[in-house]
Amino acid sequence: MHNDSRKIADEIILRSGVNPRRCMKCGKCSGTCPAYEEMEYHPHEFVYMVESGEVEPLLNSKSLYMCLSCFACVDRCPRGVEPAKLVEAVRNAYLRQQDNKHMNADDVPAKLDDDLPQQAIVSAFRKYRK
């Protein structure tokens, strides 16, 4: 396992507050996932891959944005692992790697549109500055 991948995995675990070692690999999280058919990596696979430090495939996966963040996997997990929090932490790790691609305050006026709610701009600005 590559040392950088392990560091990223440890950061994901720390930021998510999830203990992936609690997973008993029952698959209930994936069985209840409404986006299961659309995802390349399913909730139980996110947990396993983060636990084992195999985060590079996750960082480049379309599954990051196929997750609906509905927390069905969290409700279904008998061990309280919270896979959705891991998916969100992997998403944020990917965004942090895109360092120079973040939205800056100076970019906001160019993005304004009369039909776009102001709350959407503020929300995007907060999210992508992490």
List the chain domain ranges.
Answer: 3-97, 101-130
Fold designation for 3-97: Fumarate Reductase Iron-sulfur Protein; Chain B, domain 2 (1.10.1060)
CA distance 76 to 111: 40
CA distance 74 to 7: 25
In terms of average pLDDT, the best of 2-11, 22-31, 99-108 is 22-31
User: What 8-state DSSP symbol labels residue 60?
Assistant: T
Burial class (CB in 10 A: 0-12, 13-18, 19+), 105: exposed
User: What 8-state DSSP symbol labels residue 113?
Assistant: -
Q: pLDDT tens digits for 40-85?
A: 999 999 999 999 999 999 999 988 888 988 999 999 999 999 999 9
